[in-house]
Structure 1
Amino acid sequence: MKATRSVMQVLLTVVGAYIGICALLWAFQEKLIFHPRPVLRTPPNPPAEPIEIARGTVVLRGWIVNAQSEGPLVVYFGGNAEEVSRNVENWAARAATTVLVNYRGYGDSTGSPGEAALKADAVAISGWARSRFPERPLVLFGQSLGSGIAVLASPVVKPDALILISPYRSVEHIARRTLPIVPVRTLLRHRFDAQTAAADLPRTLVLASERDEVIGFKENRAMIEAINAGTGGLVELHTFRLFHNQFFNHAPVWQAVDEFLETI
């Protein structure tokens, strides 16, 4: 009897801990997914012209880099812990005009991030950029979290091309790999289900790494297969041996980007 009571106590403790973990994941998932960063150093103007885009009561702030360029128009969506001005020097070296706008709550943008808001903002930013540079071919460029945002905006925006660094099918797929015993589908409020748009994408450059410790090359591959299955094989893949946050510090990555942009 005493042994049975001890087993029941252990089981209740385990179940209670499991329910507690699930409750914490539900309550604090925004803090797990979104990691806003401030602007640490205002980039020089030129080449970075500050811009503001009003979205109701929210103001999105960022920069246009190389506004006088005659190359393609690139709209960039960053990672979940990225303040987009940190790579202005790299963007300034491209033969393109790049629009960098921080997500809600990131940098000097107001508001709070969330999937629905970020997807709607992506469409609005792309529309704003296209209206300012209507003669330019438009490229949506997303890294990590931003790759899913670029993909999900694409069917509405209809860009001429996509560039994706470390793409994924959905946040759910990433979370299930990390938390296999947690009912992720039930708990997750911000899915960023990029694979649902895979059949409606333009020509796409994918930059991925077998050493990616955050999203993982297997997940990159799965998203590439989804895009190719839906589009008839429009993905151009370049692979590297880099950790997740090393892409923009690697000259061959930018060489692949430049060569792709030259063909747009």
Structure 2
Amino acid sequence: MTYWVSTLLTLLAIYAGISIALYYLQDYMLFKPEKLSKDFQFNYENQTYEEHNLETRDGATINGIRFFPKGKSKGVVLYLKGNSKSIKGWGKFAVDFTRLGYNVIMVDYRGFGKSTGRRSQKAIKRDLQLVYNKIKEVTSEDRIVLYGRSLGSGFAAKLASINNPRMLILDAPYYSLTKVTSRYMPFMPLSLLIKYPLPTYKWLKYVRCPIHIIHGTQDKLIPFKSSVKLSQVNPKLTKLHSVIGGGHKNLNNFEAYHQMLDEIINSKPKEIDLKSTSINVIHSSKNAKKQN
């Protein structure tokens, strides 16, 4: 009896130790920042851009870059990046939107690139709202497109839920970050431990603009089925776009992805006269007989 009690207590101690370590080390596990010196000079070939810094109310600095299209601007894309590196590298993706005639704003989260400040889910949400407010000072909301990539998809959904942008585009989004991490630690009480739950599905309920979800069918990090579930949260406003064979980090290598962006951003929604469609036609002859 003593042996089993001793073994149980040992296992509980180990479990508690892992839980404590997970709580305090999750920032290092989740975020993979690249830090840049204050005097670092960004360099993007064939792109026109300017660097900006925003001071937050708690004294942090949020560093970002504004990329300009070659012609007249059609609007602004606020691009919220993934959890690794800095806008030094992510800036290369701005061309996917400047070529379509849009300004692109990219910012580094706290602790990334030149951005400073203590990082938390609440602080990042507050920082991004500050950035959004600054964009509203120079353009109307019906010209703002929110684009969230991977980690940034949750923050983009939150911004869209409390503002009125023209549209929301989610690239490889997660249902919630708690769900993603639970795939790797199914026996841990993550709902109690995780400091960045990022419940995308909850925020999508309150989004009032068109929602476009893009996801690769071969994504091993965040499965395609995550986007299928998200598309059902606010179905009347949501369209799901699949990149056949696409993974988590290579959608930009698919021609289909760029065609989707072009169609999503430049197309205007059309009202359909459902009375002229087959929406009420029942395919099954058996059911049709019952109705007759």
Q: Shared topology, TM-score over 0.5?
A: yes
Question: 1:238 maps to what in 2?
Answer: 242
More helix by share: 1
* Count of paired positions: 258
Q: How many Å separate the matches in 1 of 2:43 and 2:100?
A: 16
1:211 CA displacement: 1.6
Judging changes above 3 Å, is the alpha-carbon distance between structure 1 residues 82 and 173 closer, same or farther for their aligned structure 2 residues? same
Question: 1:12 maps to what in 2?
Answer: 9
Judging changes above 3 Å, is the alpha-carbon distance between structure 1 residues 159 and 233 closer, same or farther for their aligned structure 2 residues? closer
**Aligned-partner residue type, residue 79 of structure 1:** G
State the structure with more CA Rg. 2
1:38 CA displacement: 2.8
Among 75, 78, 88, the alignment partner of 2:78 is 75
Name the SS for the 1:132 alignment partner. coil
Question: 1:53 maps to what in 2?
Answer: 54
Cα root mean square deviation, aligned: 2.2
Question: 1:212 maps to what in 2?
Answer: 219
Question: 2:256 maps to what in 1?
Answer: 252
Q: How many Å separate the matches in 2 of 1:23 and 1:52?
A: 36
**Aligned-partner residue type, residue 248 of structure 1:** N
**Offset from partner CA, 1:151-170 (integer Å, 9 cap, x none):** 01112221110111111221
TM-score when normalising by structure 1: 0.89
Identity %: 22
**Aligned-partner residue type, residue 122 of structure 1:** L
Among 221, 225, 228, the alignment partner of 1:221 is 228
Question: 1:129 maps to what in 2?
Answer: 135
Q: How many Å separate the matches in 2 of 1:135 and 1:188?
A: 33
**Aligned-partner residue type, residue 59 of structure 1:** T
Q: Which runs of 5+ in 2 are unaligned?
A: 269-292
1:62 CA displacement: 1.2
Name the SS for the 2:32 alignment partner. coil
1:140 CA displacement: 0.4
Q: How many Å separate the matches in 2 of 1:135 and 1:58?
A: 26
Asked whether 1:159 is paired with 2:165, we answer yes
Greater length-normalized contact order (CA 8 Å, ≥ 6 residues apart): 1
Asked whether 1:42 is paired with 2:38, we answer no
Q: Which runs of 5+ in 1 are unaligned?
A: none
Q: How many Å separate the matches in 2 of 1:137 and 1:170?
A: 28
Q: How many Å separate the matches in 2 of 1:41 and 1:86?
A: 13
